[in-house]
Structure 1
């Protein structure tokens, strides 16, 4: 199982209990941990381009992402990282279908049809159950936010513009990613690639 920390090159996954000695996790985070679904390069480039187009520039502090868990305790870094590695190594990439535009109060998001993600989320939800925040205990509705924190006029204009051009499209989720929340920006901690052949295309 390969694990990639931050922006560095892949490194062999250490045995359980070895994370404390791994300098690539230093400084160890003291703020909440975030888990997201990672995208292949083509999917990410398209999503992040849309986010940069619509999100207020001065408030766009993080890349396009699909959040799985928003606030896991940093003191459980070792257990969280080990579970993410095991879960990612046990499954193939996930086919994604961006199927609808979802209005938000101050922006909008892309809603997904992604049945292949549900079993993975359930597994992680069970594993992280003692640590889940109230937000993470809510029903999981996968989405990628393209615009938020805008004034209502800008949000209405952006939503209308994207709805006019939107057509459903497909992409691929290829990994799990772990981040530390820094009060606005996120610090990348690790990437856990999926293994095996991609899951069947949703339109097949």
Structure 2
């Protein structure tokens, strides 16, 4: 899908396969407050880039010329009122650092930090409710792997996101 230049904020995510998408989306549907669950499960790489910068789609196309990346889902993490699965991959860490260098002129402070990849399955609940889910998901948890299939760019719509383009990895 070709990137159409727009005004506003651009978000870049790392996409995972359809089976993993169903798994994590089902957890969000079950545990995320319905009024706030307007996004599918995702891995955010960059939170705020300029949507009208022509070099970003070109750069993403180059970064997508690679094999899929395997991530280890290594634990269930409790962050106050949020529950997420944390992800580990040296390969992703290196790739993200390269992307940070390429996007450096436009990075906000949050996107200048080291990547802490995760998939949020619950947020915007009480700390008590988050603790309960954290305990439930931790019972019998065993680390597992997921494969990533490419990047997506999104336009931030003050809540929901609109898909702009996808950049698949070759297999």
TM-score, scaled to structure 2:
0.94
CA–CA distance in structure 2, aligned partners of residues 131 and 98 of structure 1: 30
Structure 2 residue aligned with 1:38: 15
Aligned partners of 2:73, 2:52: CA distance in 1, in Å? 35
Residue 72 of structure 1 pairs with residue 17 of structure 2: no
Aligned length: 171
The CA distance in 1 between the partners of 2:114 and 2:146, in whole Å, is: 23
Larger Rg over CA atoms: 1
- Structure 1: runs of 5+ lacking an equivalent: 6-18, 20-24, 197-204
Measured in 1, the distance between the counterparts of 2:97 and 2:114 equals 11
CA displacement 1:14-50 (0-9 Å, x = unmatched) = xxxxx6xxxxx3xx53221000101111111111111
User: Which stretches of structure 1, 4 residues or longer, exceed 4 Å deviation after superposition?
Assistant: none
Instruction: Give the TM-score, by structure 1 length.
Output: 0.79
Matched, 1:83 2:59: yes
Is 1:102 equivalent to 2:77 in the alignment?
Answer: yes
DSSP-derived class of the 2:132 partner: helix
- Partner deviation per Cα, 1:106-144 (whole Å, 9 max, x = no partner): 121111121221222122110100100111112211111
Distance in structure 2 (CA, Å) of the matches to 1:152 and 1:123: 36
Structure 2 equivalent of residue 192 of structure 1: 167
